[in-house]
């Protein structure tokens, strides 16, 4: 139940379309992201708010915050070509059955790198995320856990372990074999964020995205959340 | 006589309101931070209504909410043009509170200003999409006009088919180069002015009447 109405406390699945037209119960249009494992029936209480799941440092740190925002779009896109994309389904199955440890030391390093640098891979999964996936998503691989392959660059400490646990075949084949994924990535990169919070007080703005979106941001909060004004046409 | 003139004025104003065929056009004043948008908006508002629009400042992002001045009647050659002017926050792709620290601001204030400025840009971009009928694009002629923001915004404005007037502001500064702006956007007419000093405002008003009347 990653999203919760801040007004009445109703919980929504990640990527739920119900939220887009405001809370069906109370009409509220402010929602907060609540990671798995939190009792979603509690009314919102800022003091009792759980910390966000750990995020990888660096440029990826805003990914989780924006996942909810883009999840619906992602699902539409994935849903559009998901039928002929076997790896997406396989990925989900593998993640839920083996959890976080299955991939250790078995997936090729290139695969690991790719997952770490591709926020949309995370976004895809939020749609059907279960506890194991959530945990996998939140975990950051430590240097000790890395396979024995030579890795000297400092960056490698910050990489994700892939969520998918299928031990043998690479979970993300070469781009040349998956033009649909490339398109998806480009599209997501284009639309991914309208405001990126580097840290409180430091923002990067995607002007085209701000211009293109129908709803608009009315209040930024210090932790990177923001309230949006839902257009009239969405409410009906 | 003063009474009579006043009376005559108010009658003609009422008549022009009664007979005006459409609502006043809403003209957005856009441009990068510190180009002089608020100074211009205040100059226009003071010249034609006697009021100001908002505070001006050398510190970037002084304007963090769009401010509107409605029913500004500009008279040109006996003809009246009524516009609503909307002064918008400076549009930028990056807002960083550390920039404000240089202006003797406490960190908390700088962070808040930065957040509000970001909201302001979001709002300005939203308005550009739905709420303006024309654009006055203000550039600081003492700085390089070839920027990503300027190119993108002018591109958006062109794609919307909105009438746009490019103003080369701050011609009172020594480093000012109007030609540099003309070269950058040759597809549009560029009008030089100093909103601060009030230089060349007559031509600006002529063009406003011509473009947005």
- What CATH number did the domain enclosing B157 receive? 3.40.50.300
CA dihedral of residues B89, B91, B96, B98 (deg, nearest 10): -60
CB-defined contacts A:B, below 8 A = 69
State the pLDDT confidence band at A1, using cuts at 50, 70 and 90.
Answer: low
Q: Are B139 and B169 in contact (CB under 8 A)?
A: yes
Instruction: Establish if B139 belongs to a structural domain.
Output: yes
Distance, in Å, from the CA atom of A202 to the CA atom of A194, rounded to the nearest integer, reads 14
Indicate the angle between helix axes B148-159 and B107-130, nearest 10 degrees.
30
Of A211, A212, A220, the CB nearest to B119: A220
Which tokens hold the place of B11? 């009658």
User: Please, where are the H alpha helices in chain B?
Assistant: 2-19, 37-48, 98-101, 107-130, 148-159, 178-184, 201-212
pLDDT tens per residue, range B27-36 = 999 999 999 9
Instruction: Establish if B9 belongs to a structural domain.
Output: no
- A205 at interface of B, judged by CB pairs closer than 8 A: yes
ipTM over 0.85: no
Q: What is the pLDDT of residue A185?
A: 60
Mean pLDDT of B196-213: 94
Distance, in Å, from the CA atom of A109 to the CA atom of A115, rounded to the nearest integer, reads 10
Whether B209 shows a pLDDT value over 80: the answer reads yes
Chain B residues touching A216 at Cβ < 8 A: 122-123, 125-126
pLDDT tens per residue, range B87-105 = 999 999 999 999 999 998 9
pLDDT tens per residue, range A140-164 = 666 666 666 554 444 444 555 555 4
Instruction: Establish if B3 belongs to a structural domain.
Output: no
Q: Could you list the residue range(s) of the whole structural domain that residue B89 is in? A: 24-212
Structural domain count of chain B: 1
Of B91, B118, B156, the CB nearest to A195: B118
Nearest to A139 by CA among A95, A92, A94, A108: A95
Whether A128 shows a pLDDT value over 90: the answer reads no
Instruction: Establish if B40 belongs to a structural domain.
Output: yes
Between A21 and A102, the more confident residue is A21
Chain A residues touching B152 at Cβ < 8 A: 207-208
Which residue bears the tokens 């919102």?
A44
Name the interface residues of B facing A (CB cutoff 8 Å): 91-98, 107, 110-111, 114-115, 118-119, 121-123, 125-126, 128-129, 149, 152-153, 156
Q: CB A205 to CB B95 under 8 A?
A: yes
Q: List the beta bridge partners of residue B67.
A: B87
Instruction: Classify B71 as helix, strand or coil.
Output: strand
């Amino acid at each position: 139940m990653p999203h919760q109405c801040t007004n009445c406390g109703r919980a929504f699945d990640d990527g739920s379309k119900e939220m887009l037209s405001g809370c069906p119960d109370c009409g509220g249009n402010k929602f907060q992201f609540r990671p798995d494992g939190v009792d979603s029936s509690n009314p919102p209480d800022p003091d009792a708010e759980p910390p966000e799941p750990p995020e990888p440092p660096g440029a990826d740190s805003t990914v989780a915050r924006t996942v909810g925002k883009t999840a619906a779009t992602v699902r539409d896109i994935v849903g559009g070509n998901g039928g002929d994309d076997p790896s997406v389904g396989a990925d989900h199955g593998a993640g839920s059955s083996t959890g976080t440890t299955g991939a250790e030391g078995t997936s090729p390093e290139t695969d690991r790198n790719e997952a770490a640098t591709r926020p949309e891979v995370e976004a895809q999964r939020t749609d059907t995320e279960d506890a194991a996936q959530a945990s996998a998503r939140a975990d950051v691989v430590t240097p000790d856990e890395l396979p024995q392959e030579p890795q000297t660059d400092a960056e490698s400490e910050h990489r994700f372990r892939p969520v998918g646990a299928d031990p043998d075949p690479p979970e993300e084949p070469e781009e040349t074999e998956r033009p649909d994924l490339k398109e998806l990535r480009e599209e997501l990169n284009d639309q991914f964020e309208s405001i990126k919070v580097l840290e409180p007080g430091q923002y990067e703005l995607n002007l085209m995205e701000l211009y293109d979106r129908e709803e608009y941001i009315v209040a930024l909060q210090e932790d990177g959340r923001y309230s949006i004004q839902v257009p009239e046409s969405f409410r009906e | 006589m003063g009474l009579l003139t006043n009376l005559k004025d108010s009658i003609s104003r009422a008549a022009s309101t009664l007979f005006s065929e459409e609502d006043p056009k809403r003209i957005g004043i856009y441009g990068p931070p510190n180009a002089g948008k608020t100074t211009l908006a205040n100059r226009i508002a003071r010249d034609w209504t006697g009021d100001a629009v908002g505070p001006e400042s050398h510190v970037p992002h002084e304007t963090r909410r769009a401010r509107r001045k409605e029913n500004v009647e500009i008279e040109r050659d006996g003809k009246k043009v009524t516009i609503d002017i909307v002064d918008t926050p400076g549009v930028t792709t990056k807002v960083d509170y550390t920039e404000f620290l240089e202006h003797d601001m406490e960190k908390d204030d700088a962070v808040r200003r930065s957040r509000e400025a970001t909201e302001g840009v979001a709002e300005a971009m939203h308005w550009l999409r739905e709420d303006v009928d024309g654009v006055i694009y203000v550039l600081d002629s003492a700085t390089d006009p070839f920027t990503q923001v300027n190119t993108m915004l002018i591109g958006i404005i062109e794609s919307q088919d909105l009438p746009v007037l490019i103003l080369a502001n701050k011609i009172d500064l020594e480093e000012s180069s109007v030609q540099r702006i003309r070269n950058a956007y040759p597809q549009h007419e560029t009008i030089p002015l100093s909103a601060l000093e009030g230089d060349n405002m007559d031509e600006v008003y002529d063009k406003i009447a011509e473009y947005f009347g």
